[in-house]
Structure 1
Amino acid sequence: MKHGQISSKELTDFIRERSTIEEAYARSMTKLAKSAGNFSQLGTFAPVWDVFKSSTEKLASCHMELVRKLQELIKEVQKYVEEQAKAHKKTKEEVASTLEAVQNIQTISQALQKSKENYNAKTVEQERLRKEGATQRDVDKAGVKAKKATESYKSYVEKYATAKSEFEQKMAETAQKFQDIEESHILHMKEIIQSYSQSVDETHSQIGEVHNEFVRNVENTSVESLIQKLAESKGTGKERPGKPRRFDSRWSVFLSCVPAISLTDCSHAKENSFYSSSDSEDEDEPRKFHVEIKPVQPNNGTHQNRATIDELKASIGNIILSPSTSVGTQKHSEHTKVPHIYLLLLSSAAESLWTPLLRTSELQLHQQTSNSVRFSFSGTSRGPSPVTLASQDALPIAVAFTESVNAYFKGADPTKCIVKITGDMTLSFPMGIIKVFTSNPTPPVLTFKLKNTSRLEQILPNQQLLYSDPSQSDSDSKDFWFNMQALTSYLRKASDQNPSSSYYNVDILKYQVLSDGIHSTPLNLAVYWKCTPSTTDLRLDYRYNPDSMASPGALTNVQILVPVDGGVTNMQSLPSSIWNSEQNKCLWKLNDISEKSENEGSGSLRAKFDLSNGPSSPSTLAVQFMNEGSTLSGVDMELQGSGFRLSLNKKRFATVFPPCKCPFHTFVRLLFFI
């Protein structure tokens, strides 16, 4: 009963916490709706913000409604807690006689034991005196004492029988009352949970309706309607303007960007004025248009100042102007704002053209090979960007070692473990390196040393790109160098196929690692099955093996998948797992396993399955995990010579398993078979 009160209070705390979270979320959504109403109301997209605002406000209202329902449910739970406490107190008063019966039988049991010991002692004493030939008087005294002990013992036996009968009756009645209380408690708790579930389900339905309404509103908001609304709000009328005079196309862009500009027809050209040429009725004498910014009024002053090409260059950061943009300009005092606007436009255009030469960028390389390994290469070249790497710079490259381990464990016998470990080595080249290779008739030869090869059983280099000396005597390393012409051709072909990519990956070599059975596996496993017609018991023991890794690290994304047949009706597991009734599979998801884990990375998984059509057949278990930052072989790379620098050395290993049709994960990267 004590635990029932605790569970009721904990359920109250849980619902209250959920209510607090929902209320905070609703307030955040309300704040977001207000911010959506304050977004820019300019442009064609402005009406869409009203759709966002309305939908967000409705979502906030849905969550606030759930908060209200949860608050009401909390009051019901608190009322039940009070009623439960009263019921428990009443029950304790009713079963007080049971406590007396328990204490009574305990007292009588102790007295009975002492009486039994006294009876045995007196009887033995009487028999001893008879055998030793003691006087009749001593024998008679011993007989009297034995008789008293017998009567006392008989009396306690009768009392114990009566106390036992009363104890059994009281305990049966009390146990039935406790069971009735627990059954009522569980039923009431299920009703509360059902109310909670119904409230959440109704809220989810409302949210779904709001989302569907949002989708319909967005679909009904067509491009034509948005443009029409903008035209109606910003339009100046529906009458067509008169036919404009044609003028120089170079200045049409400039004039369209400057507000409040008027064109005044001038019959003559002034040598020291700011003019733009246009077509004229007289082919020999072109007509001029005088550009004037309103509302600035012309002054009477005649002072003029010529803006030379040198002044323009100084104004925009010493950018060399091409002949097409070098326009001779002179300005009157009444047009002082025109040159500044012109310089602003020119500076903006020039900045967009020269941006690649003005900033240094970092390369982000992502491995997209058949191994699906992704990694980042962050390096700053001495050139301004990947496309402007200088031939005299040390060219940056990145390397990735990816190893895959397959292991088969049979039961709990470590000698029957079969292990196979394979690896891939991939180099990644930045896009700008292609230009360096093609512009240099004799690019530096890329040479590297593969270290710690004594742990490799077989090495398969890319024969089209790599050379090596088979007569090398060092068993722990191996030198390789590239066919630079073939490498350049490969990178150029990759660039033609994907010109927008900032990096290109090249598979260099594959290798197989020497295996030492179960000692080579990062995670040692043993499985035990116990199958009966009605139940199946499963236990999986695992142990972290840091000695298998060159640099021990944590095993992440650990998952265990167990198929169980025989018609599973119920499952109990420790730790908790997920059961999929459609696939008849059980899934454990574990925390990272390392030497810092509990029991230094050792543990057990247990599960019991109730069956309707047993017994089950022991099946193959699948175990998945991965590690970032280490390999099992310890293989490494070292660049030889000059001309290149290693910007990143990425290492990882994982288990391998083909895609499976399993709802737990659409693509299982790596598994052990048991």
Structure 2
Amino acid sequence: MSYYQAFMIERPKNGLDIVQSRLKGAKTLNLELADYFKERATLEDNYVKGLQRLLNKSHVTDKSNLGTFANVWDAHILEIQSIIEMHMDFMMKLHEEVEVQLRTKVSSDPEWTNLKHQESNLSKLAREYEEKHTKVNKQRSKTEKRSGKKAEVFALELTHADWQSEWSKYLEKFQRADGSRLLNLKESFARFETIQADYYQRRAGDEMHNFCVKKSKNFEVIKNTPNGSASGSISGSTSGSINAQTSSPTASPNASQNALENVPQNTFESRIPVDSEIGSESKHFDGFSSNDDDSLSDVGFNSSLNQKNIQVEIKPSVTGDNEAETAREMSMVMTTLKSTPTIKQPNRRHHLSTPIINSDGINTIFGMNGMNTNLGRTNSLVQTSQAEITNHRRAVSDPEVQSRGLRASIIETVNVKSQGGEVIKILVTGEIRISYNYPVIRNNPNPIRIRITKFDTLEKATPNTLYLRAVPESSGLYDIDTGLLSISGIASVAVMKYQVHIDPTKKNLYVPLQIIPQWKCEPNLTSLAVNYRVNPECLLSSGDGGDGTLTDLSFLIPVDGDVETVQSKPTGIWSTEKQRMYWQLDDIDLSIPSERKRTLAQFETKRESNPTPIVVKFARKGQLLSGISLEIEKPMTNDTSNEYNIDEKGQTKFEGIVEFQEIIHQVVSGKFLALP
């Protein structure tokens, strides 16, 4: 619920008091948190000063008395100096990046300053309204002249109109400022945690460095060899030879880099480069984006190089151009890496870039870009709209999805252009996403075979060949590369996009609502009635999936003509900047045929308006228009690719076979336009 819906009430003073109290409390909270971090920085400062005083004192008057412990004493002094530097850096960052930012938000933020300037005018209007409202109530209880009573009532209405105009603008600005304030708090705590984590990571790094120095001081460092051996270098090919040599923890830090530069070019020609192919192909597949920017760090590839310092020799080896064999070997390598315990550094700075939806976010979500005119059956798969991506991510980011197992989500998007309740053009596209977070099965590297049920209802299907491979001479059967898919962990990966086949004579089966807008445009007045009801013929109305409810139903209507005042039923949200009317409507049960419903609005304009299309948004969970789904294709009992045995009841029990823990089905609206 927006602030406009919550606080546009009959008595202005009550709403104003609530909002002002919220603003004052927010300022107080910012200052209190700033004081807390100031005291935290003061503690660090006192600790640094104490250590400095400790170093300034002459605790050892004659260092010659230390004898063989002189080096130990010097190392201890250097350690204290390093601790002082780390705490000073921690203190300065805490002051500049956290405390100062919290205080600046209160004192010099332009949004808050603008709100403060508007408070006096709003308080004045609220007092005037209360006074005139009191006078009108008194006159109603007395027998006075009719003309005098009308004058007071008219003055009250004028004041109320001024209040509504100013109050609506103030609430929009206040909601943006309040959202910005909460984001600032989130970023402040994220910065603090980042600073603190960097400090502890630095301490851990110093400890590891000291350990290496102490343990390797009696060892002889092996120089870089011309044959390409290097400390910590690992070949990515299964056919290359790896000869272990003597460990050297104190090897030159540039040894690894130099070794790789000296390796002949043909050494890597027959291999799958982990950094290049996986990273690039996952981002350039038919518009797919696997969101695996951190996939290598998730696998622990880099961290595994640092777990042991070993000497290896990489020799060139000629391999065949068997793509299937190469893909299988790559899958086994990724499976092995996935099972290796790794230490993953949290992506702490990700929180700082998280956007927040402002108060007029509905205008961003429902952009009026018009309908794609090439919505015929021969059209290729359309680009995923922003609304589809938002709804899809919302579905797959549910906490229930982010758990161990094989999970999938199928989201279909309905793009429609209708007029008079009849469908003119329609296009239904879908996307299948899968997340695989199972324990690695070392003895069963075979891919998982899935079947897409009712595959014949699809017009086109484009699989992501990086993760999904079609089974030859089989319709709707695909093999999932679990080795590559497991790299993404709990993150879902887009494995297929498709287009649903639609019979031109049965377009209405794919539209859950019949929407008929009626416009009446006059020189200074525009009236709008939007009639809508459930389409009983729709496939979503007759299905048994989900709870049969159409959710997130809303209408967005742009109105030109320089609108001055607006009246609507039910209450909607009018954007003065965008000149758009927005209705958020109740959920509708599609299984129950409903009577015609209506939304009404009247706009007073400076000039005559023109009828415009209505943007419709909705969502239907638990069902798909295509009727497809996913299921695991279990191997036959005579198939030796998977082990099986007989349980106590005499039934076949397959080893290493997984099942879908959950499959999310959802239909959302894309570009759904109801023409006048």
TM-score normalised by length of structure 1: 0.47
Rg larger in structure = 1
Higher relative contact order (CA 8 A, sep 6+): 2
